[in-house]
Structure 1
Amino acid sequence: MKKRPSILGTLIFAAVFFIAGLMTYKHITKPIAEEAEASKDWPTVQGTVTHAELTKSRDNDGNDMYSANIRYNYVVDGNSFNSSNIKTVDGSTSMKSSVKKTLKKYAKGTKVAVHYDPEFPNTAVLETGTSFLFGLLLKLPLLFCAVSVLMVFSLFKRLLFG
């Protein structure tokens, strides 16, 4: 006879799963998504790329990872700033060709449109918003919440209908 998990154990596991998903979304991924979305409405000034190079590193599995190391200067209300943010969330990739494309777009000396946070002008990006796939990734913690709700529904269904 197959032993089923206890009701209390299932409820505790579902609650922990739900709370972990909700807290991760609320305190980590939601603020990232909100800043990325807000960047679409930030004012724009012209800036100049002062540094552009390909950076190579290794991930935990020893795979080569690449990122674009770009720095640019810009002026807001007479104050000079510099930044290295391409997007609100930058990262590395295993696709070297993608990074080379970015470096070509933002070569040293290139004039660029810099989108800056009007409340904190030292915060700036070259590309606003986020990609569709990254947007989905930011919603992943909500999947934990959904799974926990399904676990509870499944438990009640089993209790009510056998």
Structure 2
Amino acid sequence: MVKSKPVMHKAGHLFSFVLGVIFVIGGFLATYLKGLPLIEQGKASKNWPTTKGVVLKSKVASHRSSNSNSSTYSAEITYRYQVEGQNYKCGTVWFGSDVSTSNRSLAQDTVKKYPVDKQVVVYYDPQKPAAAVLEPGVFKTTYFYYVFGWLFMGPGILMTGIPLFRWLVRVGRGTDERGENVAGKF
């Protein structure tokens, strides 16, 4: 049984709207729950107190997608440090260093910079000493989740905003989707 064009048209609009809502929610989560806090931590870390630490683990990690022949790489660095007699371990080199890229040399350079047993200066959050970083500040990869989130949220806003705007205009005019006056139909 073939559905009529108006029914299929409405179904297409509904699908587009629901997909837009999903994009907005996903983009919002990436932007404001992951990306923005990373940027704020990066900026704040420049003023954090420091302590001495030592690198415990340093290796290049390879990540291969199950549906792709390409790999991405990241540096896995773990270091130990102490704040007020309490021992901590952390793996953050800089805020955004956990982003995997196809550029293996970035991960290799980071591993070379922080070999096992190297003494390091650790910048730690005075309110939450378990949050620490070896390189304070904001870097290109710090913005990854923020930009990625907006790349999802932008189209989502268009996919939901345009139909909502059209609906509000129709309601304001008192017309239905075909432009017919709805006043007095009820």
Paired with 1:93 and 1:15, the residues of 2 have a C-alpha distance of: 28
Q: CA RMSD in A?
A: 3.7
Distance apart, 1:106 and its partner CA = 0.4
- Contact preservation (8 Å) 1:86, 1:126: yes
Q: TM-score, normalised by structure 2?
A: 0.62
Paired with 2:76 and 2:49, the residues of 1 have a C-alpha distance of: 23
Residue in 1 that maps onto 2:78: 71
SS class of match (2:46): helix
Specify which of 90, 108, 112 is matched with residue 116 of structure 2: 108
Which 5+ residue runs of structure 1 have no aligned equivalent? Answer: none
For this pair of structures, how many residues does the alignment match? 160
Aligned pairs (5 A) from 1:13-32: 16=21, 19-20=24-25, 21-32=27-38
Which amino acid letter does the alignment assign opposite residue 16 of structure 1? Answer: V
Bigger Rg, which one: 2
Paired with 1:69 and 1:140, the residues of 2 have a C-alpha distance of: 22
Matched, 1:56 2:62: yes
Q: Which 4+ stretches in 1 moved above 6 angstroms?
A: 153-156
Q: CA 1:62/1:32 → structure 2, altered by over 3 Å: closer, same or farther?
A: same
Q: TM-score, normalised by structure 1?
A: 0.70
Q: Which moved more, 1:18-27 or 1:114-123?
A: 18-27
Distance apart, 1:121 and its partner CA = 0.8
Q: Which moved more, 1:127-136 or 1:61-70?
A: 127-136
Which 5+ residue runs of structure 2 have no aligned equivalent? Answer: 1-5, 171-186
The percentage of aligned residue pairs carrying the same residue is 30
